[in-house]
Amino acid sequence: MDIALFLLGFIFMLTGILGSFLPVLPGPPLSWIGLLLLVLTRAVPNDWWFLGITFAIAAIVFALDYIIPAIGTRKFGGSKAGMIGTVVGLLVAIFFPILGIFGIIFWPFMGALIGEFINKADNKTALKAAFGSFIGFLSGTFLKFVVTIIYMGLFIAKTWEYKEGLFPFLF
């Protein structure tokens, strides 16, 4: 049972990292579930402080993911159309990786710009607002990615610390 919980936890960790970039998956909460599943094994002692602190961080980052892009958009005079365009651009980058790694930067910006052009008539204002939407999106994505990578590191550290209990057939 411990191996199944470990493997399922690891899958949640990987899904959480993907969720840092995919807007439909809540990255940090999924990574936290991976940590929870690891702690639920018999080999790893229950550490409710560890789970409580990591849960609070995941919840805060989850909430900030909705606040940061709005702040970026508002600071630069953007609209909801720019934020929606950013998400559409990200989906284009993920499902049609035409430009490779540069597509993850190019397409969300283009999506924000097109969204702002649809919403606003002035080219300068649309460009500035698209930049704000894009910066807000990148900030939120970076924050989620950092948190999920740290959670993966914690997962690996806990696994390594209790490896004899988790994998008795190896040691």
**pLDDT, tens digit, for every residue of 62-86?**
988 878 777 777 778 777 888 788 8
CA–CA distance, 21 with 15 (Å, rounded to integer): 10
Q: Look at residue 121 and tell me whether its pLDDT is greater than 70.
A: no
Residue 109 banded pLDDT, cuts 50, 70, 90: confident
pLDDT value of residue 112? 85
Residue 136 banded pLDDT, cuts 50, 70, 90: confident
In a domain, 171, yes or no: no
Cβ(137)–Cβ(162) below 8 Å: no
Measured CA distances, 49 to 36, 39, 45, 137 (Å) = 12, 12, 12, 31
* DSSP structure string for 112-135: HHHHHHHH-S-HHHHHHHHHHHHH
Number of domains in the chain: 1
Q: Which domain holds residue 117?
A: 2-166
CA 41 to chain centre: 25
In a domain, 94, yes or no: yes
pLDDT value of residue 87? 80
**pLDDT, tens digit, for every residue of 15-56?**
999 999 877 789 999 999 999 999 999 999 999 999 999 999
Kindly state the tokens that stand for 151: 């959670």
Q: At what angle do helices 123-161 and 27-39 cross, to 10 degrees?
A: 10
Residue 5 banded pLDDT, cuts 50, 70, 90: very high
pTM of the model: 0.81
In a domain, 33, yes or no: yes
